[in-house]
């Protein structure tokens, strides 16, 4: 006989565990106590066709948290005795509630078989369950049984023994708990893994979840094992718990429970559970979902909601932005008047005020977008969007959960590829995860958005909102096609069934919206004040030095004197001549600068896409951070400006420049959307993908692709005579 096979029975109270146990073991039972507690421990032997299996009946529990003695006993048995398999018995008539425990077994990763008990009673209540579909979605064997009659129990034991025999390693499933907790979990998991904290007993993510659930037993064990790390983990949880209380008026355990039920709901909804219902009994959330995720109405509602978001943002954001632009223009003018000519003035006016001001003027627009997104996210609607998009995403070899990574990266409006790339950690299949993290940076993140908005506002004034919406769609189409391409070439492989969480709808609180919006906006402003400021100054220096050779400067001086001698100072001719001369001088100085030489050096190539050397400078700066594109263009144009008094905004400067036209604008827009991700994102891709190769791949591949698109647009557009 082979080594002893041990299988545990786990399930909610009244799920029929005892009935099944008695049926399987007959009279071969032994009743004792679990050590140290008064909880009864029943053991027995099942005789199969050619083997005997040891079966342990665990106490009935709704959960595996240390809220009751039964729960502690049940999970201690699982993690210390490590039975080869668990039969999770669930009451099919109350499947939603029963699967809550199953969720936790999945998260623990122990090999499990799900026994759908009482299907007779369920059928009487008009409930039918597609066990095959459930099996596919949960990724574990599902067997319908009637414990009272023994129906299905032979198959159940066959499959349980098969699972036990396979003796694979535990495979914990990751359920997403929303942005706040997911990020926390990722951090905690890393700490737990690197210090091997309790890892011989529990999977790292499981320990982290228990800390978030303030599970006293795990916290005590952690304290004994590594007090320092235990304190650090608790401190991290406290921070996020406070944040949840402030923003959502909730606490971690509630968020976790919500998401587990969301996970279950979405499984049951994908063709698993059918019920002849009586609509009065449906919960409000489900009633809303019947409309909002309806196959036909759902997508229409989604498009309307997203279009509405753009419309609102532009209607109310644009005037505010213009106001801020005026303020910075005035400030630049004042500084210009007050300071004597020289490098300091040039640095302040052209480098700092133009650069940082250009970014800050987008704050109102971005705040409005973020508010809109926060409403969608906090209300639970965003999860529905992802749910609906799943059908489409499968076609492209991705997961429904990829949608979240896309949205976080800027798939709706604004966002950032850095958290987007990190959000792919919840994806189960490595191939789909790689495809998602390589394509998420193609979304229009919050840093690209201002550039796109600027160019749209300047060259496509008629239909700003629909045009930007179209750019968003374009990002999705390109990302999906790219994913499809990757999944059929370098990332070939089968797809895995997918499960998405559908948390219940809730009314966003004003405070929560305010905090979420402010957090994201502040991130943007802080970046403008630090990284962007530093890059602005560096680029200003690159655009200013080495300056013109002395003899050239002397020549301009002589010409200036000649003008002063020809025309009386202050007359229109004097101003015009002097202005033209200054422009010519500044232009020459910029061309001669470090950045100018680089921009010019690239011109022979970039002209294919219509990019002149000033645009090149800005795009090269954008490799560091996309925000820099605007500030660099601002610097390039204000340095070249004829009359600083007029201090026209960048948009006016571009509109007035004959080198720009709608075709070039479109080529630049497309290039910016798809070229290399910013440096921080690349670093993140390297870390997440675990190799330098993918970081370089995404830089080279994206830039090559973007350039090809830009060249095509420019050449075709020009040939069609659209360049005007």
Residues in contact with Mg ion by CB under 5 A are 18
**Measured from the CB of residue 14, what is the shortest distance to Mg ion in angstroms?**
8
Specify the residue, 11 or 364, whose C-beta has the smaller distance to ligand GDP: 11
- Which does residue 121 touch among Mg ion, ligand GDP, none (CB within 5 to 8 A, set by kind)? ligand GDP
Q: For the range 162-168, what are the long-range contacts, defined as Cβ-Cβ under 8 Å and sequence gap of 24 or more?
A: 163/84, 163/85, 163/111, 163/112, 163/113, 164/5, 164/6, 164/7, 164/53, 164/83, 164/84, 164/85, 164/111, 165/5, 165/84, 166/111, 167/84, 168/111
Angle, alpha carbons 17-20-24 (nearest 5°): 135
**Measured from the CB of residue 265, what is the shortest distance to Mg ion in angstroms?**
28
- Which does residue 13 touch among ligand GDP, Mg ion, none (CB within 5 to 8 A, set by kind)? ligand GDP
For the CA atoms of the chain, what is the radius of gyration?
32
**Measured from the CB of residue 449, what is the shortest distance to Mg ion in angstroms?**
59
- Which does residue 15 touch among Mg ion, ligand GDP, none (CB within 5 to 8 A, set by kind)? ligand GDP
**CA-wise closest residue to 108 among 48, 183, 174, 163:** 174
Neighbours of 387 (CB within 10 A): 23
Q: Please measure the distance between the N-terminal and C-terminal CA atoms of the chain and give it in whole angstroms.
A: 86
**Cβ(38)–Cβ(171) below 8 Å:** no
- Which residues are paired to 40 by β-bridges? 33
Whole-number Å distance between alpha carbons of 500 and 388: 10
Specify the residue, 44 or 411, whose C-beta has the smaller distance to ligand GDP: 44
Angle, alpha carbons 33-37-38 (nearest 5°): 60
**Measured from the CB of residue 402, what is the shortest distance to ligand GDP in angstroms?**
39
- Which does residue 464 touch among ligand GDP, Mg ion, none (CB within 5 to 8 A, set by kind)? none
**Cβ(354)–Cβ(332) below 8 Å:** yes
Specify the residue, 91 or 501, whose C-beta has the smaller distance to ligand GDP: 91
**Measured from the CB of residue 29, what is the shortest distance to Mg ion in angstroms?**
13
**Measured from the CB of residue 375, what is the shortest distance to Mg ion in angstroms?**
47
**Measured from the CB of residue 396, what is the shortest distance to ligand GDP in angstroms?**
43
Specify the residue, 89 or 435, whose C-beta has the smaller distance to Mg ion: 89
**Cβ(651)–Cβ(454) below 8 Å:** yes
- Which does residue 147 touch among ligand GDP, Mg ion, none (CB within 5 to 8 A, set by kind)? ligand GDP
The phi and psi torsions of 687 (rounded to 5 degrees) equal -65, -45
**Measured from the CB of residue 503, what is the shortest distance to ligand GDP in angstroms?**
29
* Interface residues toward ligand GDP, by CB under 6 A: 11, 13-19, 60, 117-118, 120-121, 146-148
Q: Is the link from the previous residue into 344 a cis peptide, with omega within 30 of 0?
A: no
The phi and psi torsions of 110 (rounded to 5 degrees) equal -70, 140
**Measured from the CB of residue 140, what is the shortest distance to ligand GDP in angstroms?**
20
**Measured from the CB of residue 12, what is the shortest distance to Mg ion in angstroms?**
10
- Which does residue 634 touch among Mg ion, ligand GDP, none (CB within 5 to 8 A, set by kind)? none
Specify the residue, 147 or 306, whose C-beta has the smaller distance to Mg ion: 147
- Which does residue 117 touch among ligand GDP, Mg ion, none (CB within 5 to 8 A, set by kind)? ligand GDP
The phi and psi torsions of 147 (rounded to 5 degrees) equal -60, -35
**Cβ(484)–Cβ(396) below 8 Å:** yes
Q: What is the 3-state secondary structure (H, E, C) of 327-383?
A: HHHHHHHHHHHHCCCCHHHHHHHHHHHHHHHHHHCCHHHHHHHHHHHHHHHHHCHHH
Specify the residue, 17 or 433, whose C-beta has the smaller distance to ligand GDP: 17
Specify the residue, 117 or 651, whose C-beta has the smaller distance to ligand GDP: 117
- Which does residue 118 touch among Mg ion, ligand GDP, none (CB within 5 to 8 A, set by kind)? ligand GDP
Specify the residue, 70 or 627, whose C-beta has the smaller distance to Mg ion: 70
Contacts of 614 (CB under 8 A, 6+ apart): 590, 599, 633, 636, 637, 640, 659
Specify the residue, 40 or 96, whose C-beta has the smaller distance to ligand GDP: 40
Residue nearest to Mg ion (CB): 18
Specify the residue, 124 or 557, whose C-beta has the smaller distance to ligand GDP: 124
- Which does residue 11 touch among Mg ion, ligand GDP, none (CB within 5 to 8 A, set by kind)? ligand GDP
Helices 448-459 and 363-379 pack at an angle, to 10 degrees, of: 120
Specify the residue, 18 or 652, whose C-beta has the smaller distance to Mg ion: 18
Specify the residue, 90 or 648, whose C-beta has the smaller distance to Mg ion: 90
Specify the residue, 18 or 559, whose C-beta has the smaller distance to Mg ion: 18
**Measured from the CB of residue 13, what is the shortest distance to ligand GDP in angstroms?**
5
Q: What is the 3-state secondary structure (H, E, C) of 467-485?
A: HHHHHHHHHHHHHHHHHHH
Specify the residue, 17 or 664, whose C-beta has the smaller distance to ligand GDP: 17
**Measured from the CB of residue 269, what is the shortest distance to Mg ion in angstroms?**
31
Contacts of 313 (CB under 8 A, 6+ apart): 365, 368, 369, 372, 413, 465
Whole-number Å distance between alpha carbons of 455 and 651: 8
Specify the residue, 151 or 170, whose C-beta has the smaller distance to ligand GDP: 151
Residue owning tokens 């010019």: 600
* Neighbour-count burial of 120, counting CB atoms closer than 10 A to its CB (0-12 exposed, 13-18 middle, 19+ buried): middle
**Measured from the CB of residue 17, what is the shortest distance to Mg ion in angstroms?**
5
- Which does residue 120 touch among ligand GDP, Mg ion, none (CB within 5 to 8 A, set by kind)? ligand GDP
- Which does residue 16 touch among ligand GDP, Mg ion, none (CB within 5 to 8 A, set by kind)? ligand GDP
- Which does residue 64 touch among ligand GDP, Mg ion, none (CB within 5 to 8 A, set by kind)? none
- Which does residue 298 touch among ligand GDP, Mg ion, none (CB within 5 to 8 A, set by kind)? none
* Neighbour-count burial of 551, counting CB atoms closer than 10 A to its CB (0-12 exposed, 13-18 middle, 19+ buried): exposed
- Which does residue 529 touch among ligand GDP, Mg ion, none (CB within 5 to 8 A, set by kind)? none
**Measured from the CB of residue 274, what is the shortest distance to ligand GDP in angstroms?**
19
Specify the residue, 12 or 439, whose C-beta has the smaller distance to ligand GDP: 12
**CA-wise closest residue to 383 among 409, 404, 402, 397:** 404
Whole-number Å distance between alpha carbons of 286 and 678: 41
How many residues in the chain? Answer: 724
**Measured from the CB of residue 63, what is the shortest distance to ligand GDP in angstroms?**
15
**Measured from the CB of residue 57, what is the shortest distance to Mg ion in angstroms?**
7
**Measured from the CB of residue 128, what is the shortest distance to ligand GDP in angstroms?**
15
Number of H helices and E strands in the chain, helices first, is 33, 9
Whole-number Å distance between alpha carbons of 624 and 702: 15
Specify the residue, 22 or 592, whose C-beta has the smaller distance to ligand GDP: 22
DSSP per residue, 630-676: HHHHHHHHHHT-S-GGG---HHHHHHH-TT--HHHHHHHHHHHHHS-
């Amino acid at each position: 006989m082979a080594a002893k096979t041990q299988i545990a029975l786990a399930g909610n109270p009244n799920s029929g565990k005892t009935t099944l146990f008695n049926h399987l073991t007959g009279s071969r039972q032994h009743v004792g106590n679990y050590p140290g507690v008064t909880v009864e421990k029943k053991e027995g032997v099942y005789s199969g066709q050619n083997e005997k299996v040891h079966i342990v009946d665990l106490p009935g529990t709704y959960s595996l948290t240390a809220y009751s003695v039964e729960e502690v006993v049940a999970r201690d048995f699982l993690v210390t005795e490590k039975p080869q398999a668990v039969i999770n018995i669930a009451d099919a008539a109350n499947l939603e509630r029963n699967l809550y425990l199953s969720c936790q077994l999945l998260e623990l990763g122990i090999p499990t078989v799900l026994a759908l008990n009482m299907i007779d009673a369920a059928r009487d209540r008009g409930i039918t369950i597609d066990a095959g579909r459930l099996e596919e979605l949960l990724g574990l064997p599902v067997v319908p049984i009637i414990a009272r009659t023994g129906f299905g129990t032979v198959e159940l034991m066959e499959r349980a023994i098969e699972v036990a025999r396979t003796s694979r390693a535990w495979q914990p499933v990751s359920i997403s708990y929303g942005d706040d907790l997911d990020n926390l979990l990722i951090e905690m998991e890393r700490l737990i893994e690197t210090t091997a904290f309790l890892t011989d007993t529990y999977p790292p993510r499981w320990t982290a979840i228990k800390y978030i659930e303030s599970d006293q037993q795990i916290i005590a064990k952690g304290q004994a094992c590594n007090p320092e790390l235990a304190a650090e983990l608790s401190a991290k949880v406290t921070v996020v718990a406070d944040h949840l209380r402030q923003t959502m008026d909730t606490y971690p355990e509630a968020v976790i429970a919500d998401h587990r039920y969301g996970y279950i709901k979405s499984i049951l909804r994908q063709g698993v559970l059918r019920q002849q219902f009586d609509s009065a009994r449906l919960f409000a959330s489900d009633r809303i979902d019947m409309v909002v995720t309806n196959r036909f109405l759902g997508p229409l509602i989604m498009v309307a909601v997203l279009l509405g978001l753009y419309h609102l943002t532009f209607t109310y954001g644009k005037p505010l932005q213009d106001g801020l632009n005026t303020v910075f223009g005035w400030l630049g003018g004042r500084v210009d008047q007050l300071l004597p000519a020289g490098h300091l003035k040039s640095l302040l006016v052209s480098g700092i005020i133009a650069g940082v001001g250009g970014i800050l003027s987008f704050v109102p627009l971005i705040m409005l977008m973020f508010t809109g997104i926060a409403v969608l996210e906090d209300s639970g609607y965003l999860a529905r969007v992802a749910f609906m998009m799943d059908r489409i995403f499968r076609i492209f070899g991705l997961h429904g959960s990829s949608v979240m990574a896309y949205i976080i990266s800027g798939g709706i409006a604004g966002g950032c590829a850095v958290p987007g790339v990190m959000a792919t950690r919840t994806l189960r299949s490595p191939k789909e995860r790689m495809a998602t993290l390589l394509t998420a940076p193609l979304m229009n993140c919050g840093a690209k958005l201002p550039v796109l908005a600027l160019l749209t506002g300047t060259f496509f004034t008629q239909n700003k909102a629909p045009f930007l919406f179209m750019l968003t769609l374009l990002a999705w189409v390109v990302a999906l096609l790219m994913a499809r391409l990757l999944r059929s070439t370098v990332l070939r492989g089968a797809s895995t069934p997918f499960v998405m969480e559908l948390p219940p709808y809730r009314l966003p609180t004003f405070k929560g919206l305010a905090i979420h919006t402010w957090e994201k906006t502040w991130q943007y402003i802080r970046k403008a004040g630090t990284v962007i400021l530093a890059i602005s100054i560096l680029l200003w220096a690159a655009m200013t030095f080495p300056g013109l050779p002395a003899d050239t400067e002397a020549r301009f001086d002589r010409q200036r004197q000649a003008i002063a001698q020809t025309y009386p100072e202050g007359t229109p001719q004097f101003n015009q001549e002097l202005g033209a001369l200054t422009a010519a001088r500044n232009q020459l100085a910029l061309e001669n600068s470090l950045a100018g030489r680089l921009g010019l050096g690239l011109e022979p190539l970039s002209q294919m896409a219509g990019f002149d050397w000033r645009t090149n400078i800005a795009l090269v700066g954008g490799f560091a951070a996309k925000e820099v594109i605007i500030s660099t263009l601002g610097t390039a144009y204000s340095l070249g400006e004829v009359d600083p008094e007029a201090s026209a905004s960048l948009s006016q400067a571009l509109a007035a420049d004959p080198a720009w036209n709608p075709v070039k604008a479109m080529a630049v827009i497309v290039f910016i959307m798809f070229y290399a991700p910013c440096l921080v994102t690349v670093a993140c891709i390297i870390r997440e993908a675990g190799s330098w190769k993918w970081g370089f791949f995404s830089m080279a591949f994206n830039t090559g692709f973007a350039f090809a698109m830009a060249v095509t647009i420019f050449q075709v557009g020009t040939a069609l005579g659209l360049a005007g």
